[in-house]
Structure 1
């Protein structure tokens, strides 16, 4: 598969496409199985294309979409084209109509082909590709005024071929790592730790609070003791440094651009890449 045809089909907050070079430089030379508990857009997965992989996320709509593309790529493409065909005329009004339909399907737990297609349609036509829900778990991101196509058909078809042989799971990050054993490589790209108390970093109704970060650091330690190769990325904050510092882990700080911040002057920052090897 070419690098051009196997790439993320969804835009995701905290996605690692711009950090790929730094991440790929630090990948273990050899490993057994690949495990990614916080999948998101899957930039690292698609760049590595491991033959044996388990991918996971806690966002039910996201994982449902991955599974749908793996099993029904042609039907998915047809449904997406139906949605896209009306955005040029309907614009804003049509977007909010589809957003309401998506939320009604979420409320009824209708995880079908249509929901997967709508999920991607909204992702490509909402502000900054942000997945944000209200207290009721309903998607509430506004329209971005785009009338572009939601997908690249070749990307969907190639991704589908690859995903057919991959284990796709929905659930907590600890559960995703239960099968991890010595020699496996685990890439941990959790939701960001807040840069300050007022930072908004929760993109799903489940959230990812400070206690979750502490639980993740303990998992990192446990996987290290098992003999797994672990890499973790996050904001370079005092909190993250306190969790992982003084344990012998390799900790590299790199500069990044923040694409979600509404203030363009604040769209730069530092991330930290932590490895136990």
Structure 2
């Protein structure tokens, strides 16, 4: 039986960026900044335990909500995504964290003025007129099930308001302060994944968490995503001596379905399966019905 530890993670953290206790158990970092489908923050410690013991710059070219980045808190990172409004959120966090707090508070204040549903629909309508990070941030926190979905033909954000109340500005501000510290080593870029991965050099580490072809077609950019193109970029990285770790479809329906992915022979040296619990997307689709038969495991593929 494989026994996994958090030792790799500890060696990559700096005391000034993300202080951790030297002895005893480490409390997992679970505070989320954004809600996002496919968020890996709950599984980040386990994923990180598979990372090489030493590496140089950390790359995350499908950033999303940055679950692994936030837990890892690397000294140096290139964090990128092709979704411009999403990267606006991260760049504002990095460069103008007080502005990020203000943007959220302004939209939250609409609840008292308009009511939760009308306030949400007002923000969503503004986002759909002019996609931007400030509106997307609030929608992520307030939408139904945390599932930010987009129409294929025009990118229209269509998720209704959630049944929950979004967190208060005071609570959000604390999250901003924590994430600002943990991501200080990162440079946030609006880049296609292939362009980002071209920057990785020998000894760097790339963690890829792309849209899943079996389950995430409603997400931004998932409809045009090419897994084969990603495999080509991974092969080029491997040839340069870059470490690559890929999260991809594994099993669904509590293990009854193994997702069929055409993985190139010889590209990866090993694989593992990571239990990610019950499907967040399926929870949204089933509208609160029982999810006992919808346990999901992701496949983790490594080039080393």
How would you bin the TM-score normalised by the shorter chain?
0.7 to 0.9
Q: Secondary structure at the match of 1:81?
A: helix
Q: C-alpha separation between the residues in 1 aligned to 2:89 and 2:267? A: 38
Q: Deviations over 1:151-204 (max 9, x none)?
A: 52122123234545422111211000111111001001111121xxxx552401
Bigger drift between 5-14 and 214-223 goes to 5-14
Q: C-alpha separation between the residues in 1 aligned to 2:299 and 2:220? A: 23
User: 1:6–1:46: 8 Å Cα contact kept in structure 2?
Assistant: no
- Candidates 175, 178, 183, aligned match of 1:155: 175
Cα RMSD of the aligned pairs, angstroms, is 2.3
Q: Deviations over 1:69-93 (max 9, x none)?
A: 2122112212311221232561212
Q: Deviations over 1:229-249 (max 9, x none)?
A: 110011125543x31455451
User: 2:213–2:249: 8 Å Cα contact kept in structure 1?
Assistant: yes
Report the count of equivalent residues: 262
Is 1:124 aligned to residue 141 of structure 2?
Answer: yes
2:200 aligns with: 180
1:207 aligns with: 223
**Normalization by structure 1: what TM-score?**
0.86
User: 1:5–1:155: 8 Å Cα contact kept in structure 2?
Assistant: no
- Candidates 131, 139, 156, aligned match of 2:157: 139
Q: C-alpha separation between the residues in 2 aligned to 1:255 and 1:160? A: 29
Q: C-alpha separation between the residues in 2 aligned to 1:19 and 1:249? A: 21
User: 1:260–1:267: 8 Å Cα contact kept in structure 2?
Assistant: no
1:219 aligns with: 233
Name stretches of at least 5 consecutive residues in structure 1 with no aligned partner: 107-114
- Candidates 83, 86, 111, aligned match of 2:107: 83
**Kindly tell me: are residues 260 and 12 of structure 1, through their superposed partners in 2, closer, same or farther at Cα, counting changes over 3 Å?**
same
**Normalization by structure 2: what TM-score?**
0.78
**Kindly tell me: are residues 120 and 252 of structure 1, through their superposed partners in 2, closer, same or farther at Cα, counting changes over 3 Å?**
same
Which has the higher relative contact order, 1 or 2, with Cα contacts under 8 A spaced 6 or more apart? 1
